[in-house]
């Protein structure tokens, strides 16, 4: 019923958004005298803000068509090199550019599409041959394609590391943003134990919940103050009949978005008030910047119930990875098996999703990794989103990632 109620509301808001957008266009039309005086501009701005907030959204495009390599602009095209039921491996091909370190960016499966990391990809394209995990919306995956849980996530990462290794240099670099830090770390440990020829050269983790007992945030508290059964009963819904994944049990993206919006409700209200003022003042550049951010932020997707519930249990309630009890298909994940993969842990000083120390714990539990293969960066004045997007990511954090990859090159 929850999902059906949401779909009804979404349909109603879609119509209201279209009407509001039409009204804003009418009031902004130069041929309309009300667009020059009275309350016309104010009302048009209010309608435009509402229309943008209420509009339905699908999967955004990366839209990265060019980059600059060694001072030369080159074209970029997207290529799907690996396909699985719940995700695909996307390669950003730099036309005419040979070589360069291979970098697998593992996007979070946490309610947003991989395009949330557009800025991450864009910044690394000039210096690396970039691949990214492009996860599918669970409501679009038919029940016939089976289930997807944390074990499957780890399998996908291992398989895609091997696939990239077949295209040239055997050992690529890996960068995990937030949630995938745990499955990526587990994949590296398993590959290291097996001396897998395609184990990554480096693993960079940014704002990842390796040990959520360290500086717990509101997200961690929510996951620990309620029993596991509460999540299964209250936040899991069934995909309605109008989608290909009808009948699949999921954690809906709209619930994830509602949670994140509620955490910083004041900031979001201020952002929309500023958006309204920019529109009234005719500051289109500032208004467009805010709209672009929310266009991406509000584009959400579902994740399978089994993956979400297993993550709550393993990562946030039992802390299985740092306590050495994490298993993958019955096999214990031994962090001590990592001996030759350079691990870089990056945290934001103002991160309200992953507290300070949670990602750094990855260095501590890698007991057999030489200190020369470990590095920690605390990005001062940076929040969770700023770790992988924005000016601070581009100018202060990405150079450290580049340097770390170069220090562990073939």
Pairing of strands 102-106, 129-135: parallel
Based on the domain organization, do 286 and 139 belong to the same domain? Answer: no
Q: Picking from 201-205, 233-237, 310-314, which range would have the lowest pLDDT averaged per residue?
A: 233-237
Cα gap 11→345, rounded to integer Å: 43
Confidence class for position 35, pLDDT limits 50, 70, 90:
low
**The pLDDT of residue 99:** 82
CB 212 within 8 A of CB 321: no
Based on the domain organization, do 276 and 384 belong to the same domain? Answer: no
Based on the domain organization, do 287 and 357 belong to the same domain? Answer: no
Based on the domain organization, do 384 and 261 belong to the same domain? Answer: no
Based on the domain organization, do 328 and 396 belong to the same domain? Answer: yes
Based on the domain organization, do 216 and 101 belong to the same domain? Answer: yes
Q: What are phi and psi of 80, to 5 degrees?
A: -90, 115
Rounded to whole angstroms, what are the CA distances from 182 to 22, 67, 409? 46, 31, 24
Give the global pTM: 0.85
Q: What are phi and psi of 306, to 5 degrees?
A: -65, -35
Range of the domain at 311: 66-223+303-407
Based on the domain organization, do 215 and 335 belong to the same domain? Answer: yes
Instruction: Provide the percentage of residues in the chain whose pLDDT is more than 70.
Output: 76
349-391 per-position pLDDT tens digit: 999 889 999 999 999 999 999 999 999 999 999 998 899 998 9
Based on the domain organization, do 335 and 381 belong to the same domain? Answer: yes
Based on the domain organization, do 148 and 77 belong to the same domain? Answer: yes
Helix (H, G, I), strand (E, B) or coil at 237: strand
**The pLDDT of residue 247:** 93
Q: How many domains would you assign to the chain? A: 2
Based on the domain organization, do 82 and 170 belong to the same domain? Answer: yes
Average pLDDT (321-347) is 97
Tell me the angle at which helices 253-263 and 265-281 cross, rounded to the nearest 10 degrees: 90
**The pLDDT of residue 50:** 55
Which CATH number is 121's domain given?
3.40.50.1820
Residue 241 in any domain: the answer is no
Based on the domain organization, do 210 and 91 belong to the same domain? Answer: yes
């Amino acid at each position: 019923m929850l999902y059906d109620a949401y779909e009804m509301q979404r349909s109603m808001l879609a119509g209201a958004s279209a009407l509001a957008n039409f009204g804003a266009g009418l009031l902004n039309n130069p041929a309309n005298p009300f667009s020059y005086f009275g309350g016309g501009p104010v009302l048009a701005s209010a309608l435009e803000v509402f229309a943008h907030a209420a509009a339905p959204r699908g999967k955004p495009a990366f839209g990265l068509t060019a980059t600059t390599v060694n001072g030369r602009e080159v074209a970029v095209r997207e290529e799907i090199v690996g396909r699985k039921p719940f995700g695909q491996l996307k390669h950003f091909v730099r036309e005419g550019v040979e070589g360069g370190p291979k970098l697998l960016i593992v996007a979070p499966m946490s309610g947003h599409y991989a395009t949330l990391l557009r800025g991450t990809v864009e910044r690394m394209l000039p210096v690396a041959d970039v691949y990214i995990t492009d996860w599918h919306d669970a409501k679009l995956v038919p029940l016939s394609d089976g289930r997807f849980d944390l074990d499957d996530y780890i399998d996908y990462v291992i398989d895609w590391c091997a696939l990239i290794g077949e295209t040239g240099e055997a050992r690529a670099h890996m960068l995990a943003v937030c949630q995938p830090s745990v499955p990526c770390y587990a994949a590296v440990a398993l590959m290291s134990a097996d001396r897998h020829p395609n184990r990554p050269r480096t693993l960079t983790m940014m704002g990842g919940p390796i040990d959520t007992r360290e500086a717990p945030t509101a997200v961690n508290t929510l996951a620990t103050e309620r029993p596991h059964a509460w999540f299964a009963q209250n936040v899991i819904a069934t995909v309605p009949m109008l989608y290909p994944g009808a009948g699949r049990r999921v954690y809906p993206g709209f619930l994830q978005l509602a949670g994140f919006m509620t955490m910083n409700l004041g900031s979001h209200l201020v952002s929309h008030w500023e958006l309204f003022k920019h529109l009234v003042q005719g500051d289109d550049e500032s208004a467009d910047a805010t709209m672009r951010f929310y266009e991406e932020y509000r584009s959400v997707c579902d994740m399978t119930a089994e993956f979400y519930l297993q993550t709550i249990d393993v990562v946030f309630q039992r802390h299985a990875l740092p306590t050495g009890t994490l298993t993958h298909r019955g096999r214990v994940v031994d962090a001590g098996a990592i001996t030759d993969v350079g691990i870089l842990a990056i945290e934001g000083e103002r991160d309200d999703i992953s507290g300070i120390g949670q990602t750094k714990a990855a260095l501590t539990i890698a007991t057999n990794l030489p200190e020369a293969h470990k590095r920690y960066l605390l990005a001062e004045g940076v929040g969770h989103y700023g770790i992988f997007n924005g000016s601070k990511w581009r100018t202060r954090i990405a150079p450290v990632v580049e340097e770390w990859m170069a220090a562990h090159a073939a």
